[in-house]
Amino acid sequence: MRKKHRETLAAIFRHPTPSDIRWQDAMALLQACGAEIEERGGSMTAVLLNDELILLHRPHPGNEIDKGAVASLRRFLGQVGIGPT
């Protein structure tokens, strides 16, 4: 995992929950972890990792994911056994 991915992972698990994580950084982290990412209708994105699925809403018009999405990502990553080191 690259340094940038580790930084994004640490940010996702940071408390209080940040609201400045870029969508592209989160998707790059998930891909680096081996996730399959599929764009769905509208602004939905499906992420499949270790047989677990999460549906995320792509942010717009901005580029940062909101705190609720960060919390969902944190739970999802925890479920698939990925956490900060």
Cis peptide before 59 (omega within 30 of 0): no
In the block, which residue shows the tokens 């602004």? 43
Domain count, the chain: 1
Predicted TM-score of the model (pTM): 0.92
pLDDT given for residue 56 in this prediction: 96
Which backbone phi and psi does 57 adopt, to 5 degrees? -95, 120
Q: For the domain that residue 17 is a member of, what is the CATH number?
A: 3.30.160.90
CA 38 to chain centre: 13
> Residue 85: inside a domain, yes or no?
no
For residue 22, list its beta bridge partners. Answer: 64
Q: What is the pLDDT of residue 1?
A: 83
Domain range for 52 is 3-79
Question: Mean pLDDT in each 10-residue stretch from start to end of the chain (85 residues)?
Answer: 94 95 97 96 95 95 94 96 88
Question: What integer pLDDT is reported at residue 2 of this predicted model?
Answer: 92
